[in-house]
Structure 1
Amino acid sequence: MFFLLLRKIYVLIFITAAFTSCVTKKKYDDLSARKSKLDLDIAACEKAMARVQADRKSVEEKLTELQATHQKMVKDSAETGVALRKTRSLYQELNNTYDKLIKNHDRLLSNSASESSRLSGDLARREAELLASKNQIDKLSADLKTREDRLNEMERVLAEKDKAVTNLRNKVSNALLGFKSNDLTVNVKNGKVYVSLSEQLLFKSGSTKVDPKGQDALQKLAQALRDQQEVNVLVEGHTDDVPVSKGTLGMKDNWDLSVLRATEITRILTNAGLTPERVTPSGRSKYVPVAQNTSADQRSLNRRTEIILTPKLDELFQILEKN
């Protein structure tokens, strides 16, 4: 919606400039070219916003599905183990009964022919039950082993993923050691690495141009991530609840400010060597604060950029698809 409004404003400015000023054809052509480029930039931003929202929803759904499947497999394995133990107990009882029947067979032969026939039928039935129980045990044992193998494989991959996330956090932290902790933090949350950079490190108030010190931090981060091809990068711009000053060029509100800052940081990261396909800019405005906006210090904490590093989960999804 705000991209459409922005486009209308640009068109209005263009028309006003064209019809209220005496301009040469060269200036008119220059204004037309600038309008076309702005239209392309707005379209690209809209496309990127749609893609990041779709990707985020897809990753959250897949993670939810993965967690549910993992819990179900653990529950199913436990239930199968209980069934196996019960069946083994039944198998042992049937074996004991069979032994007793064999021991009493000679003694019972002295009974009447009908009694002997009845016992023989009972013995045959017991033998059939034993065979059926053995087959069931074999089937349950094979099924339990398959589930345990898949569960072990999933736990192995999850452990490798956690190890990769930890290694990634350490690598990023080492690359950014020279910066103050109140300007830059690196944490792990929900299986992702969060690099949080303060506004003080990156931007002057209300600006979308990254300061030299912030550019240095971003270039070092990009250098640490160049060989991490299995990691997707999401750049989220965040603001406090103070409205954008009226007359700020190119910005209507905090949505614009957060998106433009995220886009500028994305350009720096890709210019420093990250492939554009891995990096997605996103603006969150004032709606995801980390502190209440009741003091200057708390607002300062909310004015930040978060770079979220997410390892790909292809191997885990392949394990799930085997079932």
Structure 2
Amino acid sequence: MIKRVSVALLVMALATSCVSKKVFKDLEDKYANLKKENRTMADENAALTAEKNKLDLQGKNLQAELDKTKAERDKLAADYAATQSTLDNLKKSYAALEKDSSSALDANVKKNRELLAQLEAKEKALAAEQERLNKLKTELQDRSARVNELESKIAAQEAGLTALKDKLSKALNSFEGKGLTVEQKNGKVYVSMENKLLFGSGSWIVGAEGKKAVTEVAKVLADNPEITVLIEGHTDNVPYAGNDQISNNWDLSTKRATAIVAIIKDNKKVDPRNLTAAGRGEFAPVASNDTAEGKSKNRRIEIILTPKLDEISKLLNDL
């Protein structure tokens, strides 16, 4: 509107060339002021438009918040109604329970008494079981002590056997390679002598070299009176074909074992009660009788040294 007025005034001014310079200058100033006022109003209009847009956005946000608040209010109202209904039901249930409380209390008292009786019975059973466990624990400790003692004695006995084997090996060292071996196994010491060291064919008379070997064994036995000695005679499977004094290999093996016992017994420090002679004949071979070498190994005397097991047997029986 202002713009149109300004243009009209300018046209009139130009149309009336007879207008004075003062009037023209005033018109020109008014025109400049109007332009300035127009720009100011345009700026204000833009600011107002921006403010309007901002207010519109805030209005939308407030509307959304309002809608959200209404939804929450409706939910709370529904929850309140449900809670109120639950409360009413609880009140009814409480009233029913209160009405029956006397009978329920009596039933609970009876049940509690039963539970207490069961508890007392279980406590007694637990005490009895604990007493039994304590007794078993004591027995286990005693048995463990006896086992430890037994293991100690067995270890000492094993060490003693090793020492005995070493003494025999040293004493019989000069007979090495002559059919004599010393071996420790199964808690015993075995001195094995082939017949070629001890006897002639079909004979039970011990030769000079064999007698020396047996005498050395006797010396070691004299220093170990707690050792029991089993002397076993063995033959090959060739039937005995000698004189009438011997009927078979079994007789021959027994006579040979007895001959070894006699030599050992000549050492007065050896207790004869520790000596046993036994004939095994051909029935405990250590090699095949199909070869000459095997037969030679089977024709032998075995001196089996066993420590006395009285203390160990007693400990075993006590376990």
**Counterpart for residue 144 of structure 2:** 148
Provide the residue aligned with 2:315 in structure 1: 319
Q: CA deviation at 1:140?
A: 2.3
Q: Which residue of 2 aligns with 1:258?
A: 253
Aligned to 1:139: 135
Q: Which runs of 5+ in 1 are unaligned?
A: 1-108
Is 2:267 aligned against 1:272?
Answer: yes
Return closer, same or farther for 1:181/1:118 CA change in 2, 3 Å cut-off: same
The question of 1:190 aligning with 2:170 is answered: no
Partner residue, 1:239: 235
Equivalence for 2:49: none
Q: Secondary structure at the match of 1:282?
A: strand
* Structure having the higher Rg: 2
Q: CA deviation at 1:262?
A: 1.3
Provide the residue aligned with 1:301 in structure 2: 297
Distance 1:227 1:152 in 2: 28
> Is the partner of 1:140 in helix, strand or coil?
helix
For the aligned residue pairs, the C-alpha RMSD in angstroms reads 2.5
User: Any conservation in 1 of the 2:194–2:299 contact (CA below 8 Å)?
Assistant: yes
- The answer to whether the 8 Å contact 2:178/2:197 transfers is no
Q: Residue 141 and residue 299 in structure 1: after superposition, are their counterparts in 2 closer, same or farther (change >3 A)?
A: same
Gap runs ≥5 in structure 2:
1-104
- 1:200 counterpart (196, 199, 207): 196
Matches of 1:159 and 1:126 in 2, distance apart? 48
SS in structure 2 at match of 1:161: helix
Distance in 2, Cα, partners of 1:153 & 1:316: 9
Give the superposition deviation at 1:215: 0.9
Equivalent residue number for residue 211 of structure 2:
215
Mapping of residues 54-203 of structure 1, within 5 Å: 113-114=109-110, 117=113, 120-121=116-117, 123-125=119-121, 127-203=123-199
From the superposition, tell whether residues 255 and 130 of structure 1 become closer, same or farther in structure 2 (CA, over 3 Å): closer
Give the AA of the match of 2:160: A
CA distance in 2, matches of 1:151, 1:303: 42
User: 1:251 is aligned with what amino acid?
Assistant: I
Q: Secondary structure at the match of 1:157?
A: helix
The range that moved more, 290-299 or 206-215, is: 206-215
Whichever residue aligns with residue 263 of structure 1, its letter is: T
How far residue 163 of structure 1 moved from its aligned partner, in angstroms, is 2.1
In the aligned structure 2, how far is the partner of 1:205 from the partner of 1:194? Answer: 24
TM-score of the pair, normalised by structure 2: 0.60
Consecutive aligned runs of 4 or more in structure 1 exceeding 4 Å deviation? 111-123
TM-score for the superposition, normalised by structure 1: 0.60
1:120 Cα offset (Å): 4.5
Distance in 1 (CA, whole Å) between partners of 2:318 and 2:164 is 29
Q: Which string of whole-angstrom CA distances, capped at 9 and with x for unpartnered residues, describes residues 207-265 of structure 1?
A: 2221111111111111111021111111111111122234x362232122212211111
Question: Which of residues 214, 222, 227 is equivalent to 1:226?
Answer: 222
In structure 2, do the counterparts of structure 1 residues 212 and 132 end up closer, same or farther at CA, with 3 Å as the change threshold?
Answer: same
Q: How many angstroms does 1:303 deviate by?
A: 0.8
